[in-house]
Amino acid sequence: MRVIHQIEIVADCNLKCVYCPCNKGLTRKDNALFISDDHFDKALRLCKAFEKDTHELWLHGCGESLMHPNFLDYAVKTAETLEGVQIKLSTNGILLTEDVIKVLAENKILVHISIHKATRKTAEHTNLAHSYGILEHLGCIPIQSASNWAGQVDWPDYAPKGDCAWPKNQWACVLSDGTISTCCLDVNPKKPVGHVDEPLEILKNRIIWPVELCESCHLDPVM
Ligand SMILES: C[S@@+](CC[C@H](N)C(=O)[O-])C[C@H]1O[C@@H](n2cnc3c(N)ncnc32)[C@H](O)[C@@H]1O
Ligand code: SF4
Ligand code: SF4
């Protein structure tokens, strides 16, 4: 692997969108749906080792990161550790209060707000994120670019076809229990590529191959 592209902070959600596998409950070792401080620090150490090839790092996986009580500490630590990397977060916006937005803005972290449930709060939070200059994207991707998560959910699949960036660029994703998976769609990986508890030197040399899930994906896993 050459890049950690995502760290899943929480594998649970305050919404249960029908088109998302999080809705069905995710399997994590020791039921660790919220990342531990130890696993987060080890994930960040791995990101640091790959910093020169890393352009952006997403602080979410299949879940709502803002539910984690330590999310802001993690966000600040990430920004301080990976100075040249653009840090981003996709959120449903429900917990994106002004206090959170201020910290994200101070650390130049950009947000994508997914409108799954339009409420007064999501409207106000979206407006605030925009006024602080951190709103990079607003929309509902399951409508705009629907996918069935490589056959894992019952939903239309008309997201554009094309080459997949994951195996090609040797991207990996750390899940909330410290497991390292090879793609953001592989939310309950049968064959993970590693775990953050393994020695850094061994992980750095591990090669990522396409997974079984690639066969049912709209993208093509070129190497
Ligand atoms: C799994 S969510 C996690 C982050 C956060 N909870 C959110 O909703 O933005 C990450 C992204 O997946 C998108 N997503 C979820 N289900 C989808 C589907 N069936 N097709 C396309 N995008 C989907 C969401 O809209 C969001 O942009
Ligand atoms: S799409 Fe986002 S908000 Fe909806 S259930 Fe999945 S993780 Fe939660
Ligand atoms: S082609 Fe494979 S690695 Fe790429 S997004 Fe699809 S399932 Fe993931």
Domain map (residue ranges) of the chain: 3-221
**Which of 145, 152, 186 best tests ligand 3's pocket when mutated (most atoms within 8 Å of CB)?**
186
- What distance in angstroms lies between residue 79's CA and the mean position of ligand 1's atoms? 23
User: What does each C-alpha distance from 122 to 11, 65, 94, 211 come to in angstroms?
Assistant: 21, 16, 6, 36
Residue with CA closest to ligand 3 atom 4? 164
Where are the extended beta strands (E) located within the chain? 3-7, 56-58, 86-91, 110-114, 135-139, 162-163, 171-174, 179-181, 194-195, 219-220
**Which of 114, 161, 175, 183 best tests ligand 1's pocket when mutated (most atoms within 8 Å of CB)?**
114
Ligand nearest to the backbone CA of 65:
1
Residues 96/113, Cβ–Cβ less than 8 Å: yes
Q: Which of 12, 4, 5, 21 is nearest to 176 (CA)?
A: 12
134 Cα distance to chain centroid: 17
Residues 44/79, Cβ–Cβ less than 8 Å: no
| Residue stretches of the chain with pLDDT short of 50 | none
Q: 98-106 and 71-81 helices cross at what angle (nearest 10)? A: 10
Cα gap 172→195, rounded to integer Å: 11
Return the percentage of the chain with pLDDT > 70, whole number: 100
Cα gap 32→105, rounded to integer Å: 29
Residue 13 has a pLDDT of 98
Question: Based on the number of CB atoms within 10 Å of its own CB, is 191 exposed (0-12), middle (13-18) or buried (19 or more)?
Answer: exposed
pLDDT in tens, 144-159: 999 999 999 999 999 9
Residues 181/173, Cβ–Cβ less than 8 Å: yes
Q: Does the C-beta of 66 come closer than 6 Å to ligand 3?
A: no
Average pLDDT, the chain: 96
Q: Does the C-beta of 104 come closer than 6 Å to ligand 3?
A: no
Q: Which atom of ligand 3 is nearest to the CA of 184?
A: 8
Q: Does the C-beta of 60 come closer than 6 Å to ligand 2?
A: no
In the chain, the amino acid numbered 165 is: A
Considering the entire predicted model, what is its pTM? 0.97
- What distance in angstroms lies between residue 164's CA and the mean position of ligand 3's atoms? 6
Q: What is the CATH number of domain 3-221?
A: 3.20.20.70
What phi and psi values does residue 127 have, to the nearest 5 degrees? -60, -40
- What distance in angstroms lies between residue 139's CA and the mean position of ligand 3's atoms? 23
Residue with CA closest to ligand 3 atom 8? 183
Residue 202 has a pLDDT of 96
Q: Does the C-beta of 141 come closer than 6 Å to ligand 1?
A: yes
Residues 50/208, Cβ–Cβ less than 8 Å: no
